[in-house]
Amino acid sequence: MAKPGRLGVGIIGAGKVGAVLGAALRGAEHAVIGASAVSDASRERVETLLPGVPILDVQDIVERAELVLLAVPDDALGPLVNGLAKLGAWQPGQLVAHTSGRFGVGILHPVRAAGAVPLALHPAMTFTGMSLDLTRLLDCTFGVTADAAMLPIAQALVVEMGAEPVAIAEADRVLYHAALAHGSNHLVTLVAQASQLLRDVGVEAPDRMLGPLLRATLENALASGESALTGPVARGDAGTVAAHAGALREYDGGAAGDILEAYLAMARATARRAGSRGLLKPEQIDGIEQALGGPDQNGTHAPEGP
């Protein structure tokens, strides 16, 4: 694919994502003309990842840039775009891309109304805000949304950053983002909960115990899907599941109840998905449900109390 013309890029929001993507675009020979940075951490990221790039006011960046990259929190995106529209800052022909997973290009309606080109470029990756993220981009996909005529531009920008673009329909953006958040953010919670339990039974290095198991589990799940499922729920081992639930009820009686709640919810979901794929018989699913204290509020009985 032929590279498009080199662009003057402005970064609004030099957080962990904005600074890294700015560095990736700079590595593709685009010129980063300025970045906005309020906190000390953001200023330090600009100095580290974008050396020599001036820190400018937001309006100055929009006035100078051919491509404006909006890397701000989801809730700040709409007010920022509307506020700049009221100032008459957006320019005809200018490319304006945001990095939000939740939103497509609809939230950039004021940009379109001004004659600029709206793009949604969301990296499906967790960022540290350090240079190692540039390497991670090479194994990363972006959820890309744009008008049909502008989609090749969005795709080309992603490819130039070393990543793979995947087109996401405007109407599917929230569900797309929910899938990523559910898989990534809740994985962190599960690991933290498992680590807490291990520490409390005397395991000094939970990461060393969990690391090989979780890495193998993730690789197997990505390669083989739910056929890789193992453990007492998948075996229909109601006795073990009941023992787990009982132990966690006792444990959570003296601590935050989030571990019991998560275990019950995930065990029920696992049993139902295993049943829908023929891995468990109906009577085995019923046994698991009873071991957990009965079906949840979507079923016929409420779970037992702690």
Number of structural domains found in the chain: 2
Based on the domain organization, do 194 and 286 belong to the same domain? yes
Q: How far apart are CA 169 and CA 120, in angstroms?
A: 11
Within-domain flag for 145? yes
Residue 255's pLDDT band (cuts 50, 70, 90):
low
Q: Give the residue-averaged pLDDT of 26-44.
A: 95
Judged on CB neighbours under 10 Å (0-12, 13-18, 19+), 242 is middle
Q: Report the pLDDT value the prediction gives residue 59, as an integer from 0 to 100.
A: 96
Within-domain flag for 276? yes
Picking from 168, 186, 204, the residue at the C-terminal end of a domain is: 168
Based on the domain organization, do 93 and 147 belong to the same domain? yes
pLDDT tens-digit map of 89-134 = 999 999 999 999 999 999 999 999 999 999 999 999 999 999 999 9
Within-domain flag for 304? no
Percent of the chain with pLDDT over 70: 93
Within-domain flag for 71? yes
Q: How far apart are CA 50 and CA 230, in angstroms?
A: 46
Based on the domain organization, do 108 and 142 belong to the same domain? yes
Q: How far apart are CA 60 and CA 25, in angstroms?
A: 20
Q: In which domain, by residue range, is 275 found?
A: 176-291
φ/ψ (deg, to 5) at 8: -85, 115
Name the token pair of 83. 């506020």
Based on the domain organization, do 116 and 202 belong to the same domain? no
Q: Which of 111, 107, 90 is nearest to 99 (CA)?
A: 107
What CATH code is carried by the domain that includes residue 249? 1.10.1040
Three-state DSSP string of the chain: CCCCCCCEEEEECCCHHHHHHHHHHHHCCCEEEEEECCCHHHHHHHHHHCCCCCECCHHHHHHHCCEEEECCCHHHHHHHHHHHHHCCCCCCCCEEEECCCCCCCHHHHHHHHCCCEEEEEEECCCCCCCCHHHHHHHHCEEEEEECCCCHHHHHHHHHHCCCEEEECCHHHHHHHHHHHHHHHHHHHHHHHHHHHHHHHCCCCCHHHHHHHHHHHHHHHHHHHHHHHCCCHHHHCCHHHHHHHHHHHHHHHCCCCCHHHHHHHHHHHHHHHHHHHCCCCCHHHHHHHHHHCCCCCCCCCCCCCCC
Picking from 118, 136, 168, the residue at the C-terminal end of a domain is: 168
Q: How far apart are CA 264 and CA 193, in angstroms?
A: 13
pLDDT tens-digit map of 157-174 = 999 999 999 999 999 999
Residue 294's pLDDT band (cuts 50, 70, 90):
low
Based on the domain organization, do 147 and 272 belong to the same domain? no
Judged on CB neighbours under 10 Å (0-12, 13-18, 19+), 291 is buried
Within-domain flag for 298? no
Based on the domain organization, do 257 and 189 belong to the same domain? yes
Location of structure tokens 């709206």: 118
Picking from 168, 188, 213, the residue at the C-terminal end of a domain is: 168
Within-domain flag for 299? no
Residue 76's pLDDT band (cuts 50, 70, 90):
very high
pLDDT tens-digit map of 178-230 = 999 999 999 999 999 999 999 999 999 999 999 999 999 999 999 999 888 99
